[in-house]
A and B are shown apart, each in its own frame.
Chain A
């Protein structure tokens, strides 16, 4: 599975837009990009998944350039409750392996 690199930590203030970029230079043709959010003492929560271009849902947007070697998770107007660790993962459909490989994640701290 492709290795991912993302910043260890980021700081932001309430109401700002936060963009977290993840590098995955060795992404394979069949790989999808998935982001999870984890609060302390809780299980990871699925945020968004994409293959190319842009994906948007009620929580976030995911931007993927044409070469797919990186991706950016965009959180609009963050609040204090968005303080969490965000994981970028790259992998294929479960039928071809299934396991998720988590990196260290990005610890986002939102301040008032």
Chain B
């Protein structure tokens, strides 16, 4: 049973470009969460999604950031017009409907030049 998959593992963007981060949850999981970890800091919750629905986006910056989890395909975290402060590790986690245990992917390390 494959774990949570994220790609790309490393992403380099210049200021002003767009970044798209993808997350495929574990098989059978219908809940996806995105977290961000800035250098030398703990993880911070960003958004919680179920298929085609955003359940909780209280941790998402108000501008430039968006997330989706379509009926088919992976969840996407999109960052428009990236700035240097967006450089961080972005982790995706998934869980199933019956438990509250979240399983994390390996993360995407975004570097903004």
Interface residues of A (CB under 8 A from B): 32, 34, 36, 41-46, 49, 87, 91-95, 97-105
Contacts and interface: CB of A to CB of B under 8 A. Distances in A.
A14 to B, nearest CB: 27
Contacts of B44: 102
Nearest to B40: A104
Nearest to B45: A99
Given A101-B45, A102-B43, A43 B31 contact: no
A45 B94 CA distance: 12
A43 B105 contact: yes
Contact of A43 (B58, B59, B104): B104
Interface of B: 4, 31, 33, 35, 42-45, 48, 55-56, 58-59, 89, 91, 93, 95, 99-107, 109
Given A94-B31, A98-B56, A99-B33, A44 B43 contact: yes
B42 A102 contact: yes
Contacts of A104: 42
A91 B107 contact: no
B103 to A, nearest CB: 6
A56 to B, nearest CB: 17
A91 B100 contact: yes
Given A97-B56, A100-B33, A34 B101 contact: yes
B33 A98 contact: yes
B113 to A, nearest CB: 20
B91 A94 contact: no
Given A92-B100, A103-B42, A98 B48 contact: yes
Nearest to B9: A41
A44 B59 contact: no
Contacts of B100: 32, 34, 91-95, 98
A91 B45 CA distance: 13
B55 A98 contact: yes
Contacts of B106: 42-43
Nearest to A87: B42
A46 to B, nearest CB: 6
Nearest to A104: B42
A100 B58 CA distance: 12
